[in-house]
């Protein structure tokens, strides 16, 4: 990574994306703050100053991607690192989710990431360098009861990411997959009180800043795959090979998460967030 690199981060108005944009600028880099929430992107850019560039981007749109990259090339002369961070979850067991809920998660978490890579990678090849950092999840290693579709999209992201990296192993593009545990962002908070979300609260969550540090570490060292936190992540990665074992420990983890979530319940309904939130 160059001493002063240009990052493009999706879902950058909130959560992990926002923390990463903050850290990138703090470390002397430049950042395109991309989000479907144009006002949120502009608000963050107002705090980060000249090193930032707010762009409205619907990650599902090939047209939006092409326009965003054109604007970044015009503003910065190129992009060094693209962080595909945008993602969302709809609460509920599969039987309770609508077809629109399911389609929304698949489109944003998985299909949009494919669109991003199909648009970005050729640009990187043309300029002779570039680094794609895709944000997966520890949910991409194990089947999560209550988050079947969400974890399914993250399993798909991992398979796609590593297959794409192999397809481009002779091209001047680096690929890293960052897989964090549950992160204390709006996406996690809006799950409080939903029975289906108990497993999200079974263990201590990461902060957005901790994940941002992991992403910057990935940008500097270019690992094939990075799990966060390291020790628990490695255990979960191994556990994913044995679905029967996952089944045995799910009930205990679910009970532990339910107790933790109960302690977090808002005091009034007005404190609750919407039923889904972009990370």
Do 89 and 191 form a contact (C-beta atoms < 8 A)? yes
Catalytic residue among 53, 110, 150, 242: 150
Catalytic residue status for 150: yes
Q: For the chain, where are the E strands, in sequence order?
A: 6-10, 30-35, 52-56, 81-84, 88-90, 131-135, 174-180, 225-228, 276-278
Other CB atoms within 10 A of residue 182 CB: 21
β-bridge mates for residue 183, sequence order? 206
Report strand pairing: 276-278 vs 88-90.
antiparallel
Per-residue DSSP letter, 110: I
d(C-alpha 249, C-alpha 246), whole Å: 5
CB-count burial class (<10 Å; 0-12, 13-18, 19+) for 99: exposed
Q: Which residues are designated catalytic?
A: 150
């Amino acid at each position: 990574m160059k001493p002063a690199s240009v990052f493009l981060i999706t879902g950058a108005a909130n959560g992990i994306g926002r923390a990463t944009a903050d850290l990138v600028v703090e470390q002397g880099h430049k950042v395109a703050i991309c989000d479907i929430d144009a006002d949120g992107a502009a608000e963050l850019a107002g705090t980060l100053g000249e090193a930032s560039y707010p762009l409205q981007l619907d990650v599902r749109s090939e047209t939006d991607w092409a326009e965003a990259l054109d604007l970044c090339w015009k503003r910065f002369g190129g992009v060094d690192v693209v962080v595909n961070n945008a993602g969302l979850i709809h609460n509920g067991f599969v039987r309770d989710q609508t077809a629109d809920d399911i389609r929304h998660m698949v489109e944003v978490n998985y299909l949009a990431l494919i669109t991003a890579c199909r648009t970005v990678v050729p640009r990187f090849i043309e300029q002779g360098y570039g680094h794609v950092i895709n944000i997966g999840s520890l949910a991409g290693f194990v089947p999560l009861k209550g988050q079947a579709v969400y974890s399914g999209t993250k399993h798909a992201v991992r398979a796609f990411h590593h297959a794409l990296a192999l397809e481009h192993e002779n091209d001047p593009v680096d690929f890293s997959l960052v897989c964090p545990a549950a992160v204390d962002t709006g996406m996690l908070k809006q799950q409080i009180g939903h029975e289906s979300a108990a497993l999200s609260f079974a263990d201590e969550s990461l902060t957005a800043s901790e994940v941002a540090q992991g992403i910057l570490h990935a940008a500097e060292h270019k690992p094939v795959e990075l799990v966060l936190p390291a020790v628990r992540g490695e255990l979960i990665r191994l556990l994913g090979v044995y679905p029967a074992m996952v089944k045995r420990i799910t009930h205990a983890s679910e009970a532990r998460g339910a107790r933790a979530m109960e302690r977090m319940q808002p005091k009034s309904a007005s404190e609750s967030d919407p039923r889904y939130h972009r990370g």
